[in-house]
Structure 1
Amino acid sequence: MALKDFLAFFFGLAMTIALSGAVRAESLSLIGFGDSLMAGYQLAPEDAFPARLEKALKDKGLDVTIANAGVSGDTTSGGLARVDWSVPDGTKGVILELGANDALRGIPPEETGKNLEAMIIRLKERRIAVLLVGMLAPPNLGPDYAERFNAIYSELAREHNLLFYPFFLDGVVTRANLQLEDGMHPNGEGIGVMVERFLPTAEQFVKSLMKGE
């Protein structure tokens, strides 16, 4: 091999290694997209669910960043109106958590389902994976409403082949010591319980993205 050919080969190999290293060094970019439960109502930014989940995943050796796109009071119609600009290009996955405020306002479950599905379709069209987070209707709305509302999430997950976490407030909703004084939102300790329970599903989501599934 001539010297110039060897140098060209060596330079090309060095560039390939450098570029592959740069790709590996880039964190996987996720968005936590939701309402006050995602935003971290009355909590410091570092205590909100996305920040705490990001830390838990990094402690597991997974290089991820999770931006907080939670908006307090947001409904599924509000989420649909902002999903295009709230989820920037380069995002690999979205943790989609909306619907609690729809139920509190008594919005027809069919409307909630249509809005969620529209968001899922828009994200998938942009090649952004979705981890769908479920919610349960308050019992005061009656069994008929609850049956229709609660089924939305599992049905959408099945229809769109999404990874699914059934109930965001699992382990917190009935425990006053894990809630703020309003009895609706988790406190810092409550967020810790949510993250602990959510973590296995989040790990599965992140690892599937890293594998390009």
Structure 2
Amino acid sequence: MKFLPGNRMLYSVMSGLMILLTVWGCGSSETKSDKKPAAGSTQATEQPKSTPTSTKQTVLFFGNSLAAGYGVEPGQAFPALIGAKIDSAGLNYTVVNAGLSGETTAGGKSRIGWVLRQPVAVFVLELGGNDGLRGLPLSATRQNLQAIMDTVRRKSPQATIVLAGMQIPPNLGTEYTREFRELFKQLADKNKAILIPFLLENVGGIPKLNQADGIHPNPAGHKIVAENVWAVIKPILQ
């Protein structure tokens, strides 16, 4: 090894450090996914593009098999049809379908906290039908629906709550049937929620608009249900 005198030696050492740092810097940058393309590449002159953050607000459908679209394709269920209407109207909302077949108000109460991990702008509550068909105590149905709305108010204070009214056949007696129908309006009034008077208006009990079970709408029935919902929530979204 040949030693260099004085300044020349210092200059050599500094030059070596600069080269080494340059090599480290290049090696570090090449491990990143956004490294610059080589000269002559078709992307060499392009500027990095930032991914835009979605500013759309959420319309959440929280319900049972009706919202879930039991027996039809996902795109045929009324929440998906509402989403298509929103897109066609150019409104700044996105639809999330949290429907679960077989869900009761008690089940909805137990999972609402998990579903509301993100804030929502409009919360459409479509539960209670299975309670009525099973003849569950209406006091429990009322308490569960109230608890769900309380959770929404706590987690998304600015959300508009839309409550879907339901009706059931008079199999369990006229008093039970009447109280069941009326509890939705009573809860909507108490909570200053917006009421869809009867979700299945012009669909329920009409064989050609329902599946073989006579309970769940077919695709044609879901289109009418979507119109029932749209008439209520369109003014909210606009």
**TM-score when normalising by structure 1:** 0.83
Comparing both structures, which one devotes a greater share of its residues to helix?
1
Task: Return 5+ residue gaps in structure 2 as ranges.
Answer: 1-51
> For residues 229 and 122 of structure 2, what CA distance do their matches in structure 1 show?
16
- Aligned position for 1:52: 81
Tell me which stretches of 4 or more aligned residues in structure 1 moved more than 3 Å.
none
Q: Secondary structure at the match of 2:98?
A: strand
> For residues 86 and 170 of structure 1, what CA distance do their matches in structure 2 show?
28
1:1-213 aligned at under 5 Å gives the runs: 26-126=55-155, 127=157, 128-207=159-238
Larger radius of gyration: 2
Task: Return 5+ residue gaps in structure 1 as ranges.
Answer: 1-21, 208-213
Q: Please tell me whether the aligned partners of residues 31 and 94 of structure 1 are also in contact (alpha carbons under 8 angstroms).
A: yes
Superposed CA offset, 1:82-125 (max 9, x none) = 00112331322210000000011100111101100011111011
Letter in 2 for 1:140: N
Greater alpha carbon shift after TM alignment, 53-62 vs 76-85:
53-62
Letter in 2 for 1:156: L
- Aligned position for 1:210: none
Superposed CA offset, 1:45-80 (max 9, x none) = 111121111111222232221111000000000000
> For residues 66 and 82 of structure 1, what CA distance do their matches in structure 2 show?
19
Letter in 1 for 2:193: L
CA RMSD of aligned residues (A): 1.4
> For residues 215 and 68 of structure 2, what CA distance do their matches in structure 1 show?
14
Q: Please tell me whether the aligned partners of residues 72 and 219 of structure 2 are also in contact (alpha carbons under 8 angstroms).
A: yes
Q: Please tell me whether the aligned partners of residues 67 and 79 of structure 2 are also in contact (alpha carbons under 8 angstroms).
A: yes
The alpha carbon displacement at 1:196 in A equals: 1.5
The alpha carbon displacement at 1:43 in A equals: 1.3
Letter in 1 for 2:227: E
Q: Secondary structure at the match of 1:164?
A: strand
> For residues 106 and 173 of structure 1, what CA distance do their matches in structure 2 show?
18
Q: Secondary structure at the match of 1:96?
A: strand
Aligned residues, how many? 185
Q: Please tell me whether the aligned partners of residues 99 and 135 of structure 1 are also in contact (alpha carbons under 8 angstroms).
A: yes
Q: Secondary structure at the match of 2:236?
A: helix
Q: Please tell me whether the aligned partners of residues 163 and 205 of structure 1 are also in contact (alpha carbons under 8 angstroms).
A: no
Q: Secondary structure at the match of 2:161?
A: strand
Q: Which has the higher contact order (CA 8 A, sep 6+)?
A: 1
> For residues 61 and 197 of structure 1, what CA distance do their matches in structure 2 show?
20
> For residues 71 and 99 of structure 2, what CA distance do their matches in structure 1 show?
13
> For residues 42 and 56 of structure 1, what CA distance do their matches in structure 2 show?
22
Q: Please tell me whether the aligned partners of residues 199 and 228 of structure 2 are also in contact (alpha carbons under 8 angstroms).
A: no
